Amino acid sequence: MAKANKTRYESEMKTDIPPKGETKKKFKDPSAPKRPPSAFFLFCSEYRPEIKGERPGRFIGDVAKRLGEMWNNTAADGKQPYEKNAAKLKGKYEKDIAAYRAKGKPDAAKKGVGEAEKSKKKEEKEDGEDEEDEDEEKDDE
C-alpha cells in the first residue's frame, strides 16, 4: 500500500506545475511603528505569570486556553480597563504611523531598492562571464 502511494505521489509530482509568477517577500521596515496589542493581549500579559505560577509545567497551548476562558468569563466591567488602555495605545499608534508615513519613503526601503540593483548588476556580470566563455571557445578553434 505504501509503495503504491509513493509511486502515485511521484508520478503526480512529475506533472505538477507550480503557480505562475514569483512571490516576492514584502519588505518590512524595522523602523516602522509596531501595532499596539489588543485588549485581550493586555489582559493576557497581566494574568499569564499568575497562571504559569499555578502550574509551572503547563504547555503554552494550555495556558492560552485558560486565558481565553478567563477572558470570556470576565464581565464587561472587568474588560473595560483593558479596552480603554488598548484604545489609548491604538490612538498613539495612529499618530505615530501618520508621522511615519508623512516622512516619505524610509531609508530602509531605499536599501531594499539598492539590493535589487545589486542583484541586477550581479546578473549582468554573470551574463558578461558567459560571453567571455564563448569568446575563449572561439579563440581555441
Domain residue limits, the chain: 33-105
The pLDDT, as a whole number, for residue 18 is 67
Give phi and psi for 134, each to the nearest 5. -65, -40
Residue 128 confidence (pLDDT) above 70:
no
| pLDDT above 80: residue 124 | no
- Work out the average pLDDT over 23-48: 89
3-state SS of the chain is CHHHHHHHHHHHHHHCCCCCCCCCCCCCCCCCCCCCCCHHHHHHHHHHHHHHHHCCCCCHHHHHHHHHHHHHHCCHHHHHHHHHHHHHHHHHHHHHHHHHHHCCCCHHHHHHHHHHHHHHHHHHHHHHHHHHHHHHHHHHC
Q: Helix axis angle, 76-102 relative to 39-54, nearest 10°? A: 120
How buried is residue 67: exposed, middle or buried, by Cβ count under 10 Å (0-12/13-18/19+)? buried
Split at pLDDT 50, 70, 90, the class of 34 is very high
**What is the pLDDT of the chain when averaged over all its residues?**
79
Lowest mean pLDDT, pick from 36-40, 61-65, 78-82, 103-107: 103-107
Q: What is the pTM (predicted TM-score) of this model?
A: 0.55
Task: Give the C-alpha distances (Å, rounded to integers) separating 28 from 18, 34, 128.
Answer: 26, 11, 33
CATH superfamily, domain at 33-105: High mobility group box domain (1.10.30.10)
